[in-house]
Every structure is written in structure tokens, then in C-alpha cells.
Amino acid sequence: MSRINWHRNWAWIALLGFAGLAAAIAHGQFVSKSPRNDSPIKTEAVQYLFPAQVSVPAGKPSPVILHFRVAQGLHINSHTPSDQFLIPTDFSISEGVGVRLGAATYPPGTIISLAFDPNTKLSVYTGEFAIQARIEATPGNHLVQAKLHYQACDQNQCMPPKTIDVPIDVIGK
């Protein structure tokens, strides 16, 4: 086989590979027919920041610090809100994924009053906050979709309670 032919064949293989890749991407788009649930306009009130991956000794409860950010201008109730009706921020991991949540330690809330009701003190998280979760993993890689449940407000109005996914790749060693 001459050198030119060899190059030409590889060019065809590369072109076919590219076509296959384009096909896979287009197919992936085409099968997800349902419109996305997330609004294109509204952003999440709370965003999970990091870590995306943690390594823990297998079978031993280990502390992992998870960082979140509350969007500017909003606050969410702390884990121990000041009023019986308010919804606490709560972190959880579903059972049966090879990873178990032993306990979660939440930061104390910042005490604030809002302009519309200066006499009421609220215990809230604003800006960045971190939750320390003690997690126990079986040996191996586990992609965990942990959850954070919260309810956010600004100065005058409140948004419905929400649960967001907290994706963490937990490696039990």
C-alpha cells in the first residue's frame, strides 16, 4: 500500500468516525423529547459548589465538607429555623447506593431581621455555607445523588421549597 493510499484510508476512517460521533450526539438530543424542567430564566437559589469527588476509607464513617452557595439577595432557612412553620435546610443521601450518611453537621444560621418585620429574628444561610457530612462507603466507586432540601426567600417574597441534587463521586478505598 502506497503512503498516499494509507493517508487516504485514514482520512476516510476519521470522517466516518466524525459522522458516527455526530450521529450519536444528534441521536442523544432527539430521544430526549420532553422539554427541560429547569426554567431558562430562573436560576437555582442554591448551587452545590464542591467537592465533585471524595475518597474515604471503605467501611469507616469519614467527614466530608460540602460547599454550597445561596444566590445573591436570597436567604434560606438554617437547619434550625427560628419559627415552627419555616422549613429547615436538610441534607440527605438515599439508602442503598453503597454510601450511607451517618450524620450531618450544619453551620449555625446567621440571625437576620427583614425590613418588613424588624421584630422577627430569622436564622438563615446566605452566600456560601458548608455542611459536614459523615459518610460511610463500601469499597469501589459510587456516583451518589445526594439531596439538599431548602426553602428560599428574599426581602419580600418566598419561593416554594425545593430539593436539588448534590452529585458526588464517592470512592471507598
Partner 1 sequence: MRRNSIVLIVVVFILAIFAWAGWANWEYRKQAAEKQQAAAPQGVLVPAPGTGAPEYVSPLNGRPAPAFALENLSGSKISLASYKGKAVMINFWATWCGPCQVETPWIVELRDKYAAQGFEVLGVDTEGDDLQPGDKAGWAKAETSANKYVREMKVQYPVLLDGDSISNEYGGLDDLPTSFFVDRNGKVVAASVGLTSESDIEGNIKKALAE
Please report, as ranges, the residues that interact with partner 1 according to CB under 8 A.
12, 15-16, 19, 22-23, 25-27, 29-30, 32-36, 40, 42, 83, 85-87, 114, 116-117, 120, 122, 149, 151, 153, 156-163
Place of cell 466516518: 16
Reference 123, options 88, 85, 148, 147; nearest CA is 88
Compare residues 95 and 117 and give the one whose CB is closer to partner 1: 117
Min dist CB 22 to partner 1, Å, is 6
Min dist CB 120 to partner 1, Å, is 7
Say if residues 151 and 77 touch (Cβ distance below 8 Å). yes
User: Please, which residues bridge with residue 99 across strands?
Assistant: 137
Compare residues 145 and 163 and give the one whose CB is closer to partner 1: 163
Min dist CB 24 to partner 1, Å, is 9
Min dist CB 140 to partner 1, Å, is 31
Compare residues 48 and 135 and give the one whose CB is closer to partner 1: 48
Compare residues 3 and 116 and give the one whose CB is closer to partner 1: 116
- β-pairing, 53-56 vs 75-77, is unpaired
- β-pairing, 162-172 vs 53-56, is parallel
Reduce the DSSP state of residue 19 to 3 states and report it.
Answer: helix
Cα–Cα distance for residue pair 25/23, rounded to 1 Å: 5
CB count within 10 Å of CB 89 equals: 25
Min dist CB 19 to partner 1, Å, is 5
CB count within 10 Å of CB 138 equals: 13
Compare residues 57 and 73 and give the one whose CB is closer to partner 1: 73
